[in-house]
Amino acid sequence: MINLAIFISGSGSNMKAIVENIKQNKITGAKPVLVLSSTAKAGGLEYAKNSGIDTAVFSYKGLSNEQISDGLIELLDKYDVDLIILAGFIKILPEKLVKKYQGKILNIHPSLIPKFCGKGFYGLKVHEAVIKAGETETGVTVHYVDEGVDTGQIILQRSCPVYKDDTPEVLQKRVLKIEHEIYSEALSVILSTLSF
């Protein structure tokens, strides 16, 4: 059984989709052992607690990169975590942590990387940029996390149309629906291929 840590910062809808799919045995071989949030305000924490999953709030505030790495690694070791799932986690992981978990950290990004990604491209800003650029399609990317921002090896991508009258909010909803499907699909692929 692979121990999962899911990192969130907001509503955690991607985390919920994954946990629900695990509960319904649509994802097998993995157990969510920890939901970690960068802020106590994350709506997803309530859901995790109600699902019986241990939670932790880990703020980067006032910590050095070294202290952030050591603090996160201590938590991950305590839960014997095998795979880290970033699901709307807005903080950058320190290099020391990324190196320790090389090939064992996944992220989801609401665009077709390499388009509209990297520093400053998150949340609604992504969809605003897609619409402003006049794109006729966008989509979702699930990728491994490396030392860069949204630069790791791509695991799975899926596209969707962009319509002329789309607002960023309407487009975000269309993209999020795909996120909730593709993340679980990507996780199942990883679980079936990776030997831990």
Q: Is residue 109 flagged as an active site residue? A: yes
DSSP letter at 103? T
Pairing of strands 83-86, 105-109: parallel
Size of the site for ligand GRF (CB under 6 A): 14
Of the candidates 5, 13, 48, 72, which one interacts with ligand GRF according to CB under 6 A?
A: 13
Q: Segment near ligand GRF (CB under 6 A), from 4-12, 19-27, 29-37, 91-99?
A: 4-12
Q: Are the C-beta atoms of residues 60 and 89 closer than 8 Å to each other?
A: no
Question: Residue 157 interacts with ligand GRF (CB under 6 A)?
Answer: no
Question: Residue 8 interacts with ligand GRF (CB under 6 A)?
Answer: yes
Pick the closer one to ligand GRF by CB: 10 or 94.
10
Pairing of strands 2-8, 30-37: parallel
Dihedral class, residue 149 (left if φ above 0, else alpha if ψ from -120 to 50, else beta): beta
Residue 160, CA distances (Å) to 43, 56, 114, 132, 136 in order: 27, 34, 16, 16, 9
- Catalytic residue of the set 109, 127, 143, 180: 109
Closest approach, Cβ 47 to ligand GRF, in A, equals 11
Q: Give CA–CA dist 39/61, Å, rounded.
A: 10
Q: Which of residues 87-146 bind ligand GRF (CB under 6 A)?
A: 87-88, 108-110, 123
Residues that bind ligand GRF (CB under 6 A): 8, 10-14, 87-88, 108-110, 123, 176, 179
Active site residues: 109
